[in-house]
Structure 1
Amino acid sequence: MSGMDLNEKAGAAPTATGLDDAKAYDPAFPNSANDGEPPEGEPSDADGIDGADLLNRVHDYARRFICYPSDTAGIVHVLWIAHAHLMDAWFSTPRLAVLSPEPGSGKSRVLEITALLVPSPALSVNSSAAYILRKVADQDNRPTILYDEIDTIFGPAARGNEDLRGMINAGYRRGAKVGRCFTEKGKVLTQDFSTYAAIAMGGLGDLPDTIMSRSVIMRMRRRGQGEKVEPFTPRLHEPPANILRDELVAWAASVFSLAETFQPILPDGISDRNAEVWEPLLMVAELAGGQWPDLARQAATEAVQSAKANNKPSLGVQLLADIRACFSDKDRLTTADLLNKLLADEEAPWGDLGRKKLDARILAKMLGEHGIKSSTIRMPNDSTPKGYKREAFHDAWKRYLPPLEIGATSATDATNQESPDKTEASRVADKTALPPCGGTAEGVAEPES
């Protein structure tokens, strides 16, 4: 069954693949129910822009100066740039996290090129939360925030900067506001600040989990031998970028009403927060048409599956996984035996929890958060020590852990086995044929069928 059939069966507005098909379902669009007249306030000549060709040319331009780490990264970058021109059409806006483990990996260049192509760019380094908040609060002149060296704000040596993190998290959705107090003539007054804005960040390491979960991620790396890009010279290279930006503005105006009304078909496995993150980018691809819908779905699938495979579990989830491995085929374990098994793995964190090792009290507290409690158990030798029954873990294991693979009997196996999602992500990655950096190839390669 096609994507359109699925929507119609569910009673939703029909979706479309590409701009040409989508026009037929929007009565406000030129050449449909308006007798060729463009929607009020939209340029009459914007309908002639080929969205797929425009995104191809944006991609070609960016690749001249950016060595993308993968085909997916290039696709994501172009879609994010285009989505910034349609901010009033979205319910949520993904953050773009341009990260790397080492300096000199091209993060700043990504933000510099992005600044040339997005609306009202505000490229900054080490700006205060108050400055960013007041820039974004002017929604009539909403900026696109490009924040370089974000690791100085959220890195290990930083203090957390909760005001800025809260603004970045809140502004992920349209209509979000944060409240502040100020004094005037001795009175304490309140003021609401709008926080909705497109934000791209570049930095070393990772960002706080709350921001990462709202982001599409480009993990940059230093260029390898044979990977070349053109030197960026603003005097020579800004004028063609300005032309592309103006075309993006006109194209966005021509498809704005469509972007507000129909929903893309999301790939399998993309739901909840991931759906909110990827929906605007998938919508851009659908509106552009051509090869972009297929490329965007492949990129979304690869990125989400890769993130799932590489996500570091929380300490609580790791404890559940390690305990499952400790139980093996047993139906009960004494607390002492369970602790000995957990502490036997020198690479696990249980021997050093804030300068303490895991003990019965800490174990009980951590498991109690999942509703798991110790009890008096009868062992084969008729002793009745404190311990845990396997059945007490069943619900938590089903909720927080993947099904245990046959033969995974050690704590290491339980926490480090390769995820099937990761294997699938590798297959998806092989399907796109976009050169990651350098050159000025014409167009975007067709994905393999």
Structure 2
Amino acid sequence: MEEDNYAAALLDEVYNFVARFVAYPSEAAHVAHVLWIVHTHMMQAWESTPRIFFSSPEPGSGKTRALEISELLVPNPVEAVNVTPAYLFRKVADEAGAPTILFDEIDTIFGPKAKDNEEIRGLLNAGHRRGAVAGRCVVRGKIIETEEIPAYCAVALAGLGDVPDTILTRSVIIRMRRRSPGEVIEPYRRRVHKPEGDLIYKRLAGWAEFISADIGGAWPEMPLGIKDRDADVWEPLLAVADAAGGDWPERARVSCVSLVSASKVATPSLGIRLLADLKMVFGTNDRISTKTLIELLCGLPESPWSDLKGKALGDTGLADRLKPYGVKSKQIRIGEWTGKGYERTDLHDAWKRYLSAPPHERETPETTETAEAAE
């Protein structure tokens, strides 16, 4: 019991320390950051490591500060911004121990301004699983050789907007925002606060060394609906919470459900938007002409269909966008009129597959009944 009290109190100490300098968007985000920091001290215990991604729509939202505070508390921190691939590869392969990469301005690597960053992207994509390697070509004189570099390490990212799904689906996503006038944090000065951070770091390292031999064999119970990739992401964090005891197991699972649910709320692709809008404009009609369908789509409030790169959606554009979903126009008859159009029965399968709740949300009888009622 005393050990549990010590571990829970230690996580509380981390929780209180980071809260002094970071204005979190939610309690779930705050808890997740603490658990992620602690899990970096036990990297050899995990089969995979979640990335943590601090994102915001605008600068000045606390993303960099979250990385700066993390730097005090994680092992072998490497603050990466505008680094070369060779530097990162050498750091990750360092015999002294894998680093914890704190990568700021990640939008410059994955965003529209990115240039020759394929090797860094490959490292970040591959390194979430223990034993993972990143391959690259090396030129030695006139000979081109391939080599595999260890890629497994803990990574925290910060940037504007989003990163590719290959990163997002392996990440705990924290949507930062600018502080409101009522949100007050303590000014951070590294040389002032580093000694306090060092003391917490040493206590974390000591506790991690004590339990790391056993914690990797734990199979933490997942909250209902958390499975597949989401379970991989949260398994180490929930294991840390369970090992700490106190109220941390419950807090961790509340955080898990909250952040996973929030991560599923994203702007749909234009294809999904088109299917949803078609379902709306079809209403109870069995068939609609292509011309009428386009007019109805363009008439929807806040519709993108009247201005796609300066041009309205046309017959060919509609057909091209529906083709990947197995939907084609055909000759139809409405009263005395005949011509090209679409039938409701041809869209039903696409609606069912792409507009229904995804599999991770079909876990309970209640959600199943709701989905069936929607059919």
The structural deviation recorded for 1:125 is 1.8
Asked whether the equivalents of residues 105 and 160 of structure 2 are also in contact (C-alpha less than 8 Å), the reply is yes
Amino acid at match of 2:326: G
**1:189-204 correspondence runs (5 A):** 189-204=145-160
Checking the alignment, whether the CA contact within 8 Å between 2:4 and 2:243 is kept in structure 1 is no
* Distance (Å, rounded) in 2 between the aligned partners of 1:334 and 1:279: 51
CA RMSD of aligned residues (A): 2.4
**C-alpha distance in structure 2 between counterparts of 1:78 and 1:119, whole Å:** 14
Stretches of structure 2 lacking an aligned partner (at least 5 in a row): 358-365, 368-375
Mapping of residues 41-120 of structure 1, within 5 Å: 50-120=6-76
Shift of residue 47 of structure 1?
Answer: 6.5
CA distance in 2, matches of 1:301, 1:160: 37
Taking the aligned partners of 1:134 and 1:396, their CA distance within structure 2 comes to 47
2:270 alignment partner, one of 311, 315, 330: 315
Q: How does 1:224-235 map to 2 (within 5 A)?
A: 224-235=180-191
SS of corresponding position for 1:299: helix
Q: In the TM superposition, what are the counterparts of 1:126-145 in structure 2 within 5 Å?
A: 126-138=82-94, 141-145=97-101
In 2, are the aligned partners of 1:125 and 1:147 still within 8 Å (CA)?
Answer: yes
Task: Name the structure 1 match of 2:299.
Answer: 344
Aligned-pair distance for 1:162?
3.5
Query: Which residue of structure 2 lines up, in the alignment, with residue 172 of structure 1?
Result: 128
- Which secondary structure does the structure 1 equivalent of 2:179 belong to? coil
Look up the SS of the partner of 1:293 in the other structure: helix
1:394 pairs, out of 345, 348, 355, with 348
The 3-state SS of whatever aligns with 2:274 is helix
Q: CA deviation at 1:117?
A: 0.5
Whole-angstrom distance in 2 between the partners of 1:160 and 1:354:
28
Match of 1:284 among 240, 259, 263: 240
- Secondary structure, in 3 states, of the residue corresponding to 2:119? helix
Provide the aligned length of Structure 1 versus Structure 2: 359
Q: TM-score, normalised by structure 1?
A: 0.74
AA paired with 1:397? W
Give the whole-Å Cα distance in 1 for the aligned partners of 2:4 and 2:318: 65
Q: How far apart are the structure 1 equivalents of 2:95 and 2:319?
A: 50
Q: Displacement, 1:267?
A: 1.0
Change (3 A) 1:390 1:199: same
| 1:272-328 CA-partner distances (Å, limit 9, x unpaired) | 2222222221111111111011001101111112222x3111111111111111111
How far apart are residue 155 of structure 1 and its match?
A: 3.5
Higher RCO structure (Cα 8 Å, ≥6 apart): 1
1:360 corresponds to which residue? Answer: 315
Are residue 181 (structure 1) and residue 140 (structure 2) matched? Answer: no
How far, CA to CA, are the matches of 1:228 and 1:243 in structure 2? 25
Length-normalised TM-score, structure 2: 0.88
The residue type equivalent to 2:342 in the other structure is: Y
Indicate if the aligned counterparts of 1:332 and 1:389 stay in contact, CA closer than 8 A: yes
Please list the CA deviations of residues 352-380 of structure 1 after superposition, one character each: whole Å capped at 9, or x if unmatched.
Answer: 33444322222222212111222222222
1:181-330 equivalences under 5 Å are 181-308=137-264, 310-330=265-285
Rounded Cα–Cα distance in structure 2 between residues aligned with 1:105 and 1:293: 29
Q: 1:192 to 1:316 in 2, by over 3 A?
A: same
Q: Identity of paired residues, percent?
A: 49
The structure 1 segments of at least 4 consecutive aligned residues displaced by more than 6 Å after TM superposition are 46-49
Q: Contact 1:165 / 1:211 at 8 angstroms: preserved in 2? A: no
- Aligned residue in 1 for 2:332: 377
Deviation per CA, 1:130-180, whole angstroms, max 9, x where unpaired?
322332233652100001122333344444833322321211222222211
Question: Within 5 Å, which residues of 2 pair with 1:144-163?
Answer: 144-159=100-115, 161-163=117-119
